[in-house]
């Protein structure tokens, strides 16, 4: 199908962007890489009359520091994040997820802001962001606000972002020593694949290098939204890192998962795979935390 007609706006500041968005209400849509938006427009699912590009606004395409946190700019592409040197320790989860998205061509366009706002249950950058405790930084007509990501995702394609609001960044705690991340994705083929199940894990070790200070596991494609596994977190906190703890956490993650059956796979299979991938992602995160 043909792309419907629209006019294009290129505001030079967040304030200007909010103004344009406010002017056109639900007739406006923000466009970043366009790899979700344009596909939906071509399929006739959306027909915004006004597209608002953010490339004229400074500072949305970098990783900045803000007392104790990293702020990831929404316009950073998957390619840039996959290669970023600033995402060390647990934050590496985001780089790993970004590296597994789509194909090189798609990664060069696809942005993290777009991935988060599209809010697909299997989104390759959303699942890692959850284990990092990321917060969505939003700017809107009523001023800026922050929302933890697990409250931001409401359903497939649905978020707590209000119409007229703009995602200006994702804030993460600064990478800590003794932390590491793992990411596992199961699909049919090795690229251009939306996960059948994907799992991100992050571990923060105590200075003894053995005890788990904190760990988080997030699951993709097994619920209406990318989800954290509280069971896995509980099973790991304070435990000695290793196969036994990981196996228990994996079991808990499989219990937390709420998969459905569809033409891509059965709920039963997805649940089994959650367990395997969780165990593997945790093993990977542990090795990374140990610096191996």
Partner 1 sequence: MGGDYTVVGSRARRLDGPEKVTGKAVYLDDMQFKGMLHGAILQSPHAHARIKSIDTSAAEALPGVKAVLTAGNVPDTKYGVSPARYDENILAIDRVRYVGDEVAAVAAVDLETAHQALELIKVEYEPLPFVLDIDQATAEGAPQLHQEYLGNLTAEVHQEFGEVARGFAESDLIRTDTFVNKRQDGGFIEPPRSVAVHDLSGNLTLYSSTQVPHYVQRTIAMLTGLSVGKVRVVKPYVGGGFGPKASASPCDILSSLLSMKTGRPVKIAMSREQVFLHCRARHQFKHVMKTGYTKDGIIKALEHTCYLEGGAYSSFGIATVYYAGSLLAAPYRLPHMKYDGYRVYTNKPACGAQRGHGGVAARACFEQQMDLVAEELGMDPIELRLKNIMETGDVSCNDLSMSSLGMKECLEAVQGGSDWNAKKGKLPPGKGIGMAAGFFVSGAGYPIYRSETFHCTVTIKVQEDGGTVLVKTAAAEIGQGSDTTMAMIAAEAIGIPLEAVRLVSGDTDYGIDLGAYSSRTTLMTGHATREAGEQVKEMILTALAGELGVERERLDIKDGVVEIKGEAVDFGPLRTKYLKEHRGWGGMPSGDKLTFTEAARMAYLKLGTIVGTGKYKPPVLGGKFKGAAVGTSPAYGCSAQVAEVTVDLETGQVTVDNITDAHDCGQAINLTSVEAQMEGSVSMGLGEAMFEEVKFDDQGRVLNPSLGEYHIPTVLDMPRMRCIVVESGEPNGPFGAKEVGEGAIMPTIPAILNAVHDATGVTITELPITPERVLMALKQKKRDE
Residue 123 site contact among ligand FAD, partner 1, none (CB < 5 to 8 Å, cut-off depends on kind): ligand FAD
Applying CB under 8 A, does 251 fall inside the site for partner 1?
Answer: no
Residue 29 site contact among partner 1, ligand FAD, none (CB < 5 to 8 Å, cut-off depends on kind): ligand FAD
Applying CB under 6 A, does 260 fall inside the site for ligand FAD?
Answer: no
Residues 6+ apart with CB under 8 A from 74: 32, 54, 60, 111, 112, 113, 114, 116, 167, 168, 169, 170
- State which residue, 150 or 251, has the beta carbon closest to ligand FAD: 150
Residue 188 site contact among ligand FAD, partner 1, none (CB < 5 to 8 Å, cut-off depends on kind): partner 1
Residue 127 site contact among partner 1, ligand FAD, none (CB < 5 to 8 Å, cut-off depends on kind): none
Query: In this structure, what are the phi and psi dihedrals at residue 58, rounded to the nearest 5 degrees?
Result: -70, 150
Applying CB under 8 A, does 47 fall inside the site for partner 1?
Answer: no
Residue ranges in 80-109 that form contacts with partner 1 under rule CB under 8 A: 103
Residue ranges in 163-192 that form contacts with partner 1 under rule CB under 8 A: 186, 188-192
Q: Which two tokens stand for residue 291?
A: 């610096």
Applying CB under 6 A, does 115 fall inside the site for ligand FAD?
Answer: yes
Minimum Å distance from CB 74 to ligand FAD? 4
Contact with partner 1 (CB under 8 A) among 143, 207, 263, 292: 263
How many Cα atoms sit within 13 Å of 96 on the Cβ side? 26
- State which residue, 36 or 256, has the beta carbon closest to ligand FAD: 36
Minimum Å distance from CB 158 to ligand FAD? 11
Applying CB under 8 A, does 227 fall inside the site for partner 1?
Answer: no
- State which residue, 90 or 139, has the beta carbon closest to ligand FAD: 139
Give the binding site for partner 1 (CB under 8 A). 1-2, 103, 186, 188-194, 196, 263, 265-266, 269, 272-273, 276-277
């Amino acid at each position: 199908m043909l792309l419907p007609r629209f006019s294009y706006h290129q505001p030079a500041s967040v304030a200007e962007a909010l103004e344009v968005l406010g002017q056109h209400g639900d007739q406006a849509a923000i466009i970043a890489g366009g790899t979700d938006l344009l596909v939906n427009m071509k399929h006739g699912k959306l027909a915004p009359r006004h597209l608002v590009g953010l490339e004229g606004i400074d500072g949305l395409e970098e990783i900045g520091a803000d007392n104790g946190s990293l702020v990831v700019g929404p316009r950073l592409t998957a390619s840039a994040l996959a290669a970023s040197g600033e995402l060390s320790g647990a934050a590496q989860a985001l780089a790993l997820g970004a590296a597994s998205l789509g194909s090189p061509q798609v990664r060069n366009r696809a942005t993290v802001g777009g991935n988060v706002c599209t809010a697909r249950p299997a989104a390759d950058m959303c699942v890692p962001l959850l284990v990092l405790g990321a917060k969505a930084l939003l700017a809107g007509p009523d001023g800026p606000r922050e929302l933890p990501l697990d409250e931001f995702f409401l359903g497939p394609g649905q978020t707590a972002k209000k119409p007229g609001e703009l995602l200006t960044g994702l804030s993460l705690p600064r990478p800590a020593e003794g932390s590491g991340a793992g990411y596992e994705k199961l699909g049919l083929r090795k690229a251009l694949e939306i996960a059948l199940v994907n799992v991100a894990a992050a571990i923060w070790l105590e200075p003894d290098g053995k005890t788990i200070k904190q760990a988080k596991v997030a699951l993709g494609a097994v619920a209406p939204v990318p989800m954290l596994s509280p069971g896995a977190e509980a099973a790991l906190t304070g435990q000695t890192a290793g196969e036994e703890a990981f196996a228990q956490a994996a079991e808990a993650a499989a219990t937390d998962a709420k998969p459905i059956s569809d033409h891509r796979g059965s709920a039963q299979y997805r649940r089994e795979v959650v367990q395997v991938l969780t165990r593997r992602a945790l093993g990977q995160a542990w090795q990374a935390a140990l610096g191996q």
